[in-house]
Amino acid sequence: MSLELLFQYLVAGLTYGTIYAVVGVGFNIIYNTTGIINFAQGEFVMLGGMTAVTLHRVLPLPLAIAGAVLATMAAGAVVEVTCIRWLRKPSVLRMIIITIGVSIVIRELALVTWGESVRALPYFTGDEVTSLSVGGVHVSPQVLWSLGACVLIVGFLWFFFQHTSVGRQMRACAANRDAAALCGIATRNLVTLSFVLSAGIGALAGCVVSPITYTAYNVGTGLAIKGFTVAILGGLGSSMGAVGAGFLVGVLESFSVSMLPAAYKDAISVAVLLAILFLRPSGLFGSREAARLRAA
């Protein structure tokens, strides 16, 4: 394999890695405040991309994306308020089943609304043939947009969790929910906020990568499995870990395509998931409990 081809695979892997990383981070935000794994996480990404495509028919691109992100955040809030907020100490099994139900309902609503067709936003700058030359290799500017969005999201979350009052409250909630409640923190509202946040970042990522990866009503489940793989690989609860793991899985997948039939691409990441679960469930980057306390 030539060095140039190697680099192309790397870039493709990083692009997909962006979205896996963001879904993984989304899992972490909700997991940290609630201890729930939200199986509908991938659906937020899909909703963001699809809504933006629809809004873009009447609105300019930046407004369409902003609208899609807001709409998806609202959807996240609705899911939390109707299906999670009022349950008292639900069992893990119950939460798994409810969030799976939510993901199916969102997906089927998307199918009814948008049909089966595959959609994409236009490229943000230039078009599909525009490319920047980076060290003799051609890279679509959209790849830089995706990486930039990922950096922006992680940077925003870091600032939010470290330097704002609400962010600190969420970390307190993650460390010990009962103690946080005793300190006067409205933990229930923070849970809603965690759903809104993770829906928002998922939607943004869904918009940014959609010109390259495309989006359809049924991409959510696959993204959820991969995002979960990434979240576990990076150590559940650790956002930085998830980002690193996201790029790792993306690149691994991209190189697997060069060696195996494309149909096995999805099987690769699942195999990684199973291997990690069996061999090192605390993730590659440190212990789970420590990661959970760090929160972001």
Partner 1 sequence: MVRKVLRSRYARVAVFIAVVAVVQLATRLAGKEFFLTQLTMAAYYTLVAAGLSLLMGYAGQISLGHAAFFAIGGYASGYLTTVDLSARKADALVAALARLHVLVPRTDLYGGEALSFHPWAAFVVAVVAALAVSFVIGVPVLKLKGHYLAMATLGFGTIVYSVLLASERLGAADGIGSVPPFPLLGGLSVGGGRAIRVANYYVAWGVVAAALLVLTNLVHSRVGRALRAIHGAEDAAASMGVDVARYKLRTFVLSAVLAAIGGAFLTHFNAGIGPGEAGVMKSVRYVAIVAVGGMGSLWGTIATSGVLSFLSLRGYFGTLDDAVFGGVLILVMLFSPEGVLRFDARGALAALRGRSSREVAE
Give the binding site for partner 1 (CB under 8 A): 37, 39, 83, 85-88, 90-94, 96-98, 100-105, 107-109, 111-112, 186, 188-189, 221-222, 225, 228-229, 232, 261, 263-264, 266-267, 270-271, 273-274, 277-278, 281
Burial of 87 (0-12, 13-18, 19+ CB in 10 A): exposed
Phi, psi angles (nearest 5°) of residue 215? -145, 145
- 111 or 134: CB nearest partner 1: 111
User: CB of residue 282 vs partner 1: minimum separation in angstroms?
Assistant: 11
Asked if 273 and 180 count as a contact pair (C-beta separation under 8 A), the reply is no
- 56 or 107: CB nearest partner 1: 107
- 30 or 52: CB nearest partner 1: 30
> Alpha-carbon distance 63 to 25, whole Å?
24
User: CB of residue 172 vs partner 1: minimum separation in angstroms?
Assistant: 17
User: CB of residue 262 vs partner 1: minimum separation in angstroms?
Assistant: 9
- 159 or 264: CB nearest partner 1: 264
User: CB of residue 81 vs partner 1: minimum separation in angstroms?
Assistant: 10
User: CB of residue 34 vs partner 1: minimum separation in angstroms?
Assistant: 12
Within the chain, residue ranges assigned H as helices are 3-34, 41-55, 61-83, 92-114, 141-163, 165-175, 177-182, 187-213, 220-233, 239-259, 265-279, 288-294
- 128 or 289: CB nearest partner 1: 289
User: CB of residue 85 vs partner 1: minimum separation in angstroms?
Assistant: 7
- 5 or 183: CB nearest partner 1: 183
User: CB of residue 220 vs partner 1: minimum separation in angstroms?
Assistant: 11
Asked if 148 and 14 count as a contact pair (C-beta separation under 8 A), the reply is no
Long-range residue pairs from 135-142, CB within 8 A, at least 24 positions apart, any chain: 135/7, 136/4, 137/4, 137/7, 137/8, 137/11, 138/8, 139/11, 140/212, 142/15, 142/208, 142/209, 142/211, 142/212
119: β partners? 215
Q: Among 36, 39, 44, which residue's Cα sits nearest to residue 87? A: 36
> Alpha-carbon distance 173 to 133, whole Å?
46
- 245 or 273: CB nearest partner 1: 273
Q: Among 242, 244, 263, which residue's Cα sits nearest to residue 253? A: 263
User: CB of residue 22 vs partner 1: minimum separation in angstroms?
Assistant: 18
- 115 or 148: CB nearest partner 1: 115
Retrieve residue 34's tokens: 């609630």
Retrieve residue 125's tokens: 């700058």
